[in-house]
């Protein structure tokens, strides 16, 4: 059962936010398992993680699918803290859900205290275009105002589902590389420490 410490692939933590019923879980399950769930079951907090190939590099994506229902609003702060990137979802067939993205954005900025946190605005249910309530222009305008990308997806047809996850992960990766550069000194220190730790096993640690 002995297990050698292996180099773990980079882990990117993605958080799905958005009002209830907009399709966060549907998008996640479509991305993870290629399945579309017709029935609506409100989520509390779901966790998913798998290995994928991002531009030829092995990475792990960790998806935290949060609750859209207001009942769970209180626990959001806690979850948001651990996120490295956010997919902010609304349904193009429901204006309320689009208006709610404003609150989510504010909450995320407040918790993360970072204007440039990797973030995508996602209009879901694009297959129901004939029932569209949120004009494309309005959504693009908002995204521009926030300085983020806007993508329309359909969890049902899988349109742009991979795109939003991959684009977000690229942003996260770029962000981390940037951080590494600025935190160069400290980063090195940490590495050294870790190395030492490994060489002398846990015995040397205190």
Q: Which residues bind ligand GTP (CB under 6 A)?
A: 18, 20-26, 37-40, 42-43, 67-69, 124-125, 127-128, 154-156
Say how many CA atoms lie within 13 Å of 159 toward its Cβ. 14
The least distance separating another protein from the CB of residue 178, rounded to whole angstroms, comes to: 27
Closest residue to ligand GTP: CB criterion: 68
What does the DSSP assignment read for 80-112?
Answer: HHH-SEEEEEEETT-HHHHHHHHHHHHHHHHHH
Q: Whose structure tokens read 């030492």?
A: 196
Q: Which stretches does DSSP call E strand in 84-181?
A: 85-91, 119-124, 149-152
Residues 137, 145: Cα–Cα separation, whole Å: 12
Nearer to ligand GTP, 70 or 114 (CB): 70
Say how many CA atoms lie within 13 Å of 149 toward its Cβ. 19
Which among ligand GTP, another protein, Mg ion, none contacts residue 32 (Cβ within 5 to 8 A by kind)? another protein
Say how many CA atoms lie within 13 Å of 80 toward its Cβ. 26
User: Under the criterion CB under 8 A, does residue 181 sit at the interface with another protein?
Assistant: no
By CB under 8 A, the residues from 52 to 111 that bind another protein are 60, 62, 64-65, 71-72
Where do runs of H (alpha helix) occur along 13-67? 24-33
Which among Mg ion, another protein, ligand GTP, none contacts residue 155 (Cβ within 5 to 8 A by kind)? ligand GTP
Q: Which of 10, 13, 43, 112 binds another protein (CB under 8 A)?
A: 43
Which among another protein, Mg ion, ligand GTP, none contacts residue 2 (Cβ within 5 to 8 A by kind)? another protein
Asked whether the CA dihedral 41, 52, 156, 163 is positive or negative, the reply is positive
Q: Are 99 and 51 in contact (CB under 8 A)?
A: no
The least distance separating another protein from the CB of residue 191, rounded to whole angstroms, comes to: 19
By CB under 5 A, the residues from 13 to 72 that bind Mg ion are 24-25, 43
Asked whether the CA dihedral 114, 120, 121, 125 is positive or negative, the reply is negative
Nearer to ligand GTP, 158 or 176 (CB): 158
Q: Of the listed pieces 36-44, 140-148, 167-175, 178-186, which binds another protein according to CB under 8 A?
A: 36-44
By CB under 8 A, the residues from 128 to 167 that bind another protein are 128, 130-131
Residues engaged in binding Mg ion (CB under 5 A): 24-25, 43
């Amino acid at each position: 059962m002995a297990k050698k410490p292996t180099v773990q692939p980079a882990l990117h933590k993605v958080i799905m936010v958005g009002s209830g019923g907009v399709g966060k879980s549907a998008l996640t399950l479509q991305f993870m398992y290629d399945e579309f769930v017709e029935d609506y079951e409100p989520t509390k907090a779901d966790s998913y993680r798998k290995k994928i190939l991002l531009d030829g590099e092995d990475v792990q994506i960790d998806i935290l699918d949060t609750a859209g229902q207001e009942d769970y609003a209180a626990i959001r702060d806690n979850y948001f803290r651990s996120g490295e990137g956010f997919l902010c979802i609304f349904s193009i067939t429901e204006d309320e859900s689009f208006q709610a993205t404003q609150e989510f954005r504010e909450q995320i900025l407040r918790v993360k205290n970072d204007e440039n946190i990797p973030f995508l605005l996602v209009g879901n249910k694009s297959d129901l275009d004939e029932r569209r309530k949120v004009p494309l222009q309005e959504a693009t305008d908002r995204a521009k105002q926030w300085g983020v990308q806007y993508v329309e997806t359909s969890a049902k047809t899988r349109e742009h589902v991979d795109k939003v996850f991959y684009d977000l992960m690229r942003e996260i990766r770029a962000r981390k590389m940037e951080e590494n550069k600025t935190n160069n000194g400290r980063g090195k220190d940490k590495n050294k420490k870790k190395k030492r730790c490994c060489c002398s096993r846990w015995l040397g640690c205190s």
